[in-house]
């Protein structure tokens, strides 16, 4: 099996249109491509596929217009299977964005409108931005095996959230600005105007929303400790370190194995979107809305085709470099 990815870099002082292509043998391309592969493999797993089917039907049932599936899981599953095939061969443009200075934001998908039937959706005409500072922290710890795997896991789950849930909604709705219906969300997320598809998918697949809580013994460059927040109370349980290692090796078990001890999450400091860092500023939001416009014109959108088995070597051997085919 092969995969095709385009990974771009936006420097900290760059305008939205100023991106450069990451070279195939660079650490940035290699480690981000590895995280994309893990994310796609989670979504391609039977549990991941069925979670996407459930999400698709939930979104469809709560939309006022454009009902497609009418509760027919076979119909929704056919679309999900097509969607995942296209994601593997034409994954959205990924921008490692150094202008994302908000430490609480790991990534975002800037929804771009498109026209045509579902079977003409091209993910490559969409984009996902990843936090440049987080990616650089991942690169810097490549010689620390456990920490590196934690970063790979964090980036992979960010891409499941953005590339699985939010891209699926983009595909279903032709990039409609109305996006996710308010009822489709995780507990504590969304608003009266819009839901949160990523958190809804996490709840379906993982049993709750994923959060990374600060380890008080580590610095700001840490990946944090991965937890699953309970959808029923204020408890949260850490994801087993062995489960994290297994995920980065392609050995999946859903729901993810958790620690036996539940902790009141109000006693922990969150490092992600529920952290004390404010949401993106108006300037950042403007850049989000403009990014996809440029990405559609990116001259390097043919990408590099690499072997999936080579991608699986990276989490346990970060010195691995990829070869284009």
**284-288, long-range: CB < 8 A, 24+ apart:** 284/99, 284/100, 284/102, 287/16, 287/99, 288/108, 288/110, 288/129
Q: Tokens 């893990």 sit at which residue?
A: 38
Structure tokens at 25: 């043998």
pLDDT for 126 equals 92
Please check the confidence at residue 304 and state whether its pLDDT lies above 50.
yes
Specify burial of residue 68 (Cβ count, 10 A radius: 0-12, 13-18, 19+). middle
Lowest mean per-residue pLDDT among 80-94, 172-186, 232-246, 277-291? 277-291
Residue 133 has a pLDDT of 94
Q: What is the pLDDT of residue 104?
A: 80
The pLDDT tens digits of the residues spanning 150-180 come to 999 999 999 999 999 999 999 998 887 667 8
Region for residue 288 given its phi and psi (left: phi exceeds 0; alpha: psi -120 to 50; beta: otherwise): alpha
Residue recorded with tokens 């989000």: 288
**CA separation for the pair 151, 139 (Å, rounded):** 9
Packing angle, helices 145-159 and 241-248, rounded to 10 = 70
> How far is it, in rounded angstroms, from Cα 321 to Cα 325?
13
| Structure token digits, residue 3 | 């995969």
Cα–Cα distance measured from residue 163 to residue 212, given in angstroms and rounded to the nearest whole number: 19
Q: Mean of the pLDDT values across residues 88-96? A: 94
CA distance 137 to 95: 16
Mean pLDDT of 271-300: 49
The first and second tokens of residue 320, run together, are: 């691995």
- Residue among 94, 52, 93, 88 at smallest CA distance from 73: 52
Confidence check: pLDDT of 273 > 80: no
Contacts of 320 (CB under 8 A, 6+ apart): 30, 310, 313, 314
- Residues 217 and 207: their CA atoms lie apart, in Å, by 28
Q: What percent of the chain is modeled with pLDDT above 90? A: 67
Tens of pLDDT along 28-38? Answer: 999 999 999 99
Per-residue pLDDT averaged across 264-293, rounded? 59
Q: What is the pLDDT of residues 82-91, one digit of tens each?
A: 999 999 999 9
pLDDT per position as a tens digit, 28-68 = 999 999 999 999 999 999 999 999 999 999 999 887 776 78
8 A C-beta contact, residue 208 and residue 228: yes
Specify the pTM. 0.92
**What pLDDT, on the 0 to 100 scale, is given for residue 111?**
85
CA pair distance 103, 269, nearest whole angstrom? 13
The pLDDT of residue 275 is above 50 = no
pLDDT given for residue 102 in this prediction:
79
**How many Å apart are CA 28 and CA 30, to the nearest integer?**
6
Q: How far apart are CA 306 and CA 285, in angstroms?
A: 33
């Amino acid at each position: 099996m092969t995969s095709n990815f385009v990974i771009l870099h936006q420097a900290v002082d760059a305008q939205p249109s100023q991106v450069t292509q990451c070279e195939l043998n660079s650490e940035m391309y290699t480690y981000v491509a590895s995280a994309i592969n893990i994310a796609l493999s989670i979504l391609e797993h039977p549990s991941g596929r069925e979670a996407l089917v459930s999400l698709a039907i939930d979104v469809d049932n709560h939309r006022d217009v454009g009902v497609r599936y009418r509760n027919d899981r076979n119909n929704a599953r056919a679309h999900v299977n097509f969607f995942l095939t296209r994601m593997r061969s034409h994954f959205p443009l990924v921008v490692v964005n150094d202008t994302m200075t908000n430490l609480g934001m790991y990534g975002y998908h800037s929804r771009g409108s498109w026209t045509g039937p579902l079977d003409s959706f091209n993910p490559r005409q969409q984009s996902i931005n990843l936090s440049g500072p987080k990616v650089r922290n991942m690169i810097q710890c490549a010689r620390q095996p456990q920490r590196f795997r934690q970063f790979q896991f964090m980036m992979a789950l960010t891409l499941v959230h953005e590339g699985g849930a939010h891209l699926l909604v983009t595909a279903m709705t032709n990039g409609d600005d109305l996006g996710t219906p308010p009822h489709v969300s995780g507990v504590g997320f969304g608003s009266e105007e819009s839901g949160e598809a990523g958190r809804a998918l996490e709840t379906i697949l993982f049993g709750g929303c994923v959060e990374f809580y600060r380890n008080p013994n580590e610095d700001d460059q840490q990946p944090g400790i991965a937890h699953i927040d309970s959808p029923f109370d204020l408890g949260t349980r850490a994801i087993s370190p062995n489960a994290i290692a297994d995920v980065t090796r392609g050995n999946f078990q859903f729901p993810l194995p958790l620690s036996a001890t539940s902790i009141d999450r109000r006693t922990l400091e969150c490092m992600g979107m529920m952290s004390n860092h404010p949401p993106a500023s108006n300037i950042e939001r403007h850049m989000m809305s403009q990014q996809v416009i440029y990405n559609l014109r990116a001259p390097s959108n043919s990408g590099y085709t690499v072997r999936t088995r080579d991608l699986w070597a990276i989490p346990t051997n970060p010195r691995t470099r990829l070869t284009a085919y």
